[in-house]
């Protein structure tokens, strides 16, 4: 398999794996995660199987819209708006508050350019890895105009806080960096820091975060210790300036090691499904599908967006990005999603009930 085709699979499957592994631990503190989930990470949602949440679903929507409209951010965002409108009608569990309000505004008649709300939540970050992959050649050649237009459109449809755009760009740029064919060894620290600093170069908070990342990486500080330095000793929050730095810090520290990258993020607790999805995406951009533990992939129990559908979608996105005249059947039974979501909600409620009991 072509290395870039494998990397596209690595990003989308990595997102799903991080999302599914992290979902049972979402909202738990680091201490409770350590007590609940001992040993190597594996799927624990139901019968040692995993399911995905909105993080993977938004990745799928973004990929579908890119395939349909790879040259027009305006058409891309209009199609994404309809994907989000229909998505909310299928009763997704755990939709972010900002995203929920934005989709309601879309149904109320607001245009995709004006539907977003002022929030720096994680929504844009979980959509931007596939954008970074699709426009990797532009980003790596420092031609940011076209990819930035798509990243901005994908962000502003739900989140208008400038910090949301900074976080989304950082994820996209790091994903693109993983697409450099000759990037066998991890990039130089200065190159890494300069790249992630660029999206928020005028934001003092982002500059401070990237400076902290640089100092910690120079000292080879662990992901847990870095999270503590950021004030996240209880868990990674849903704030994009917490989740994105933690995920890309783990990406650099454990470069090329998918399992360790993801495990160290999940061990931090908090918003584990989204932080895991982001970390899984950026790690997958380096390792490809072949670097993801197969039991983590096969353990995802999903329908109608199955693992097979995700692989076909990844391939179709690769073909479109590289101008290959190949087509893949990536259709799935969309109405079945509502039945799946009702089942999913029951499982989530059962997990919530379980958390009322020890260990604390």
Q: CATH number for the domain including 74? A: 1.10.4080.10
194 is in an annotated binding site: no
Q: Is 53 annotated as a binding residue?
A: yes
Query: Between these two residues, 245 and 333, which has the higher pLDDT value?
Result: 245
- In a domain, residue 359? The reply is no
- pLDDT tens digit string along 338-351? 999 999 999 999 99
For residues 48-62, average pLDDT: 97
Section 73-80 average pLDDT: 98
User: Does a structural domain hold residue 272?
Assistant: yes
Residue 184 has pLDDT above 90, yes or no: no
Number of domains in the chain: 1
- The pLDDT value recorded for residue 136 is 97
State pTM to two decimals. Answer: 0.97
329 in a domain, yes or no? yes
Q: Is 54 annotated as a binding residue?
A: yes
Domain span at residue 224 reads 3-354
pLDDT of residue 324: 86
Percent of the chain with pLDDT over 90: 91
Is 271 a known ligand-binding residue? yes
**Is there a domain that residue 343 lies in?**
yes
As a three-state string, the secondary structure of the chain is CCHHHHHHHHHHHHHHHHHHHHHHHCCCCHHHHHHHCCCCCCCCCECCEECCCHHHHHHHHHHHHHHHCCCCHHHHHHHHHHHHHHHHHCCCCCCCHHHHHHHHHHHCCCCCCCCCECCCECHHHHHHHHHHHHCHHHHHCCCCHHHHHHHHHHHHCCECCHHHHHHHHHHHHHHHHCCCCCCCCCCCHHHHHHHHHHHHCCCHHHHHHHHHHHHHHHCCCCHHHHHHHCCCCCCECCEHHHHHHHHHHHHHHCCCCHHHHHHHHHCCCECHHHHHHHHHHHHHHHHCHHHCCHHHHHCECCCCCCHHHHHHHHHHHHHHHCCCCCCCCCCCCCCHHHHHHHHHHHHHHHHHHHCCCCCC
Task: Return the pLDDT at 1.
Answer: 75
| Inside any domain, residue 331 | yes
* pLDDT band at 182; cut points 50, 70, 90: low
Residue 360 lies in a domain: no
Q: Which residue has the higher pLDDT, 90 or 325?
A: 90
Task: State yes or no: 273 annotated in a binding site.
Answer: yes
Average pLDDT, the chain: 95
Give me the pLDDT at residue 235, please: 97
């Amino acid at each position: 398999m072509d290395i870039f085709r494998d990397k596209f699979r690595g990003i989308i499957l990595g997102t799903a794996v991080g999302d599914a592994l992290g979902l049972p631990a979402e909202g738990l503190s680091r201490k409770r995660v350590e007590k609940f989930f001992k040993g190597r990470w594996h799927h624990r949602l139901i019968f040692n199987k995993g399911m995905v949440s909105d993080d993977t679903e938004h990745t799928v929507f973004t990929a579908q819209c890119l395939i349909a409209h790879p040259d027009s951010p305006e058409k891309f965002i209009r199609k994404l708006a309809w994907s989000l409108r229909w998505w909310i009608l299928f009763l997704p569990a755990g939709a972010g508050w900002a995203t929920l309000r934005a989709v309601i505004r879309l149904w109320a008649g607001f245009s995709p350019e004006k539907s977003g709300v002022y929030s720096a939540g994680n929504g844009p970050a979980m959509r931007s890895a596939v954008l970074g992959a699709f426009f990797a050649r532009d980003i790596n050649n420092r031609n940011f105009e076209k990819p930035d237009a798509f990243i901005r459109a994908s962000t502003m449809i739900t989140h208008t806080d400038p910090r949301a755009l900074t976080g989304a760009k950082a994820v996209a740029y790091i994903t693109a960096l993983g697409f450099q064919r000759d990037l066998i060894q991890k990039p130089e620290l200065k190159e890494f820091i300069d790249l992630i600093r660029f999206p928020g170069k005028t934001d003092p908070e982002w500059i401070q975060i990237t400076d902290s990342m640089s100092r910690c990486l120079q000292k080879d500080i662990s992901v847990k210790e870095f999270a503590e330095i950021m004030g996240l000793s209880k868990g990674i929050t849903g704030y994009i300036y917490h989740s994105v730095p933690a995920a890309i810090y783990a990406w650099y520290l454990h470069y090329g090691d998918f399992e360790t990258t993801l495990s160290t993020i999940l061990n931090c607790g908090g918003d584990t499904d989204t932080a895991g999805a982001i970390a899984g995406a950026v790690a997958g951009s380096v390792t490809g599908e072949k670097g993801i533990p197969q039991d983590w992939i096969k353990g995802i129990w999903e329908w109608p967006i199955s693992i097979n559908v995700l692989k076909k979608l990844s391939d179709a996105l690769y073909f479109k990005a590289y101008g290959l005249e190949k087509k893949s059947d990536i259709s799935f039974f969309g109405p079945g999603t509502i039945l799946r979501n009702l089942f999913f909600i029951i499982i989530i409620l059962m997990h919530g009930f379980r958390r009322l009991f020890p260990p604390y």
